[in-house]
Amino acid sequence: MLDFLDISKPFADLDSPVDLETERAITRWLHAEVRFLDAERYQEWLERFIDPDIHYWMPDMETRRRDDPRGMFAYGEAAYFDDSWKELEIRVKRYNEPSAWADNPQTRHLHQISNIEVNATEDPTLFAVHSAFTNVRNRNEADQDIVHGRREDVLRAVDGGYRLLRRRVFIVQNVLLSKNLNTFF
């Protein structure tokens, strides 16, 4: 198995930047993805951007001493998300349920993506992508959440486009103060 596909392992220090045309195409893909998320076009996001073999993981970050060998997180411990296609599909379907009161009225979203780095891997159909994000969500008059973090994505080239195969999401907040986590990063 290729190490960068293992959700429990961080990307190594990849130093295989792709050509400018590939980098631009993947950057455009990332921008289109967040446009779909901002518009709450979740079913289309799932179908257009997500690979059926997806592993989408967001660990709960813990404050530990620098000399703690566990680090700030470890796979298999607490996580906000540890989703396959099936779990993402369930989350997407939930948005359309009458019982989804946390999203009615509609949440206003803004995803900002920056610090994009695209690296080739030993598999020519897979790309390792680092990025930073800010996710702003606003509801009602005074409900606002701002979440900052970074992502390690693996994109698979499919039919002239790309699909998200793996996403590791790391937020910078130690305590997430949001009332809910009805969003995708």
Per the CB < 8 A criterion, the answer to whether 80 and 178 are in contact is no
> For residues 38-50, b (16+ Cβ closer than 10 Å) or e, as one string?
eebebeebbeebb
**Model pLDDT, residue 16:** 92
The string of pLDDT tens digits covering residues 38-91 is 999 999 999 999 999 999 999 887 777 888 877 677 777 888 899 999 999 999
**Model pLDDT, residue 47:** 97
pLDDT > 60? residue 1? no
**Residue 153 Cα distances to 6, 35, 82, 138, angstroms:** 11, 17, 14, 26
pLDDT > 90? residue 182? no
**Model pLDDT, residue 116:** 97
Among 59, 88, 64, 82, CA closest to 171? 59
pTM of the model: 0.90
